[in-house]
Structures are given as structure tokens and as C-alpha cells.
Structure 1
């Protein structure tokens, strides 16, 4: 199991801040997020825009970094201004 912790103003579209994901093989952070569908879809764009810091087991990572069973992913939202613009959009 991999845990995803959303920090700062980040949350799922349902307002959750913690997500648990079962993995059978190592995959990238991007793939883990994509597999969660609409719940975390908005995070991919924020990562591309460098508005989210990605860590795996407290080490700085990227959306290409591999995640293994037992890892903890933390996504820390920031927009450079300490303001809004990081929450999920309901489109």
C-alpha cells in the first residue's frame, strides 16, 4: 500500500487529504495519480506548473519518480504567493 498525503491547500474533489493506494508493481508518481481518476486529476496540471512539491518518503521527487509498495507520497501545494488557486476544480 502507498499513501498519498495532500498538504497545504490541496485536497481531493471530495475534500479528502489522505488517499491509500494498492500497488502490485513500482509505478511513477504520475501513474499513481492518474489511476485515482477524477479524485486527483487536477493535481497533474499543478505538478506540471510547478505549483506542487512532490516527495517520496520525505525526499524530493518528481512526477517521474518510481513509487514502491510501502512508500509515502506527499504533495505540498504552493503557488508562490501563499494564496489560493490550488484547490480542485469541479468541471
Structure 2
């Protein structure tokens, strides 16, 4: 089980900040997010734009870092503009 915590202005499409998921093998942070589908789809663009700080087990990581079963991923939104533009769009 991997836990994902969203902080700052980040949240899922349903307004959640904490989730857990099973992974079959080691995956990158990006792959774990992709597996969550619609709930975290907006985070993929923010990762590409470098607007999200990633940590795994309280250590700075990246979207390409490998995640193992039992790890805790924390995603911290930052855009240098006081937090605007990080919430999911409902379009």
C-alpha cells in the first residue's frame, strides 16, 4: 500500500487530500499518479510545469523517483504566486 498526501492548494477532483493505493511492483511517482486516473489527472501537468514538490518518506524526490510498497508520497503545490492555479479544474 502506498499513501499519497496532497498539501497546500492541492486536492483531488473530489476535494480529498489523502488517498492510498496498491501497486503491483515498483513504479515511478508519475506512474502512481497516472494509475489514480481522473482523481489526480490535473497533477500530471503541474508536475511537468515543476509546480509540485515531491517527497517520498520525507525525502525530496521527483516524478521519476521509484516508489515501493509501504512508501508515503507527499505532493506540495507551489507556483510562486501565492497558491493560485493549483486546484483542479472542473472542465
| Normalised TM-score (structure 1) | 0.97
Give the structure 2 partner of residue 71 of structure 1: 71
Gapped regions of structure 1 (runs ≥ 5): none
Contact map agreement 2:6 2:17 (CA 8 A) in 1? yes
- CA–CA distance in 1 between the matches of 2:89 and 2:19? 18
Runs of 4+ aligned structure 1 residues displaced above 6 Å come to none
| Normalised TM-score (structure 2) | 0.97
* Cα RMSD after superposing both structures: 0.7
Deviation at 1:83, TM superposition (A): 2.9
Give the structure 2 partner of residue 55 of structure 1: 55
Is 1:43 the counterpart of 2:70? The answer is no
Give the structure 2 partner of residue 33 of structure 1: 33
Deviation at 1:52, TM superposition (A): 0.4
Gapped regions of structure 2 (runs ≥ 5): none
- Deviation readout 1:2-23 (Å, 9 max, x if unpaired): 0000000000000000010101
How many pairs were matched up? 91
Contact map agreement 2:77 2:83 (CA 8 A) in 1? no
Task: Identify the range of structure 1 (49-58 vs 81-90) with the bigger mean alpha-carbon deviation.
Answer: 81-90
Give the structure 2 partner of residue 81 of structure 1: 81
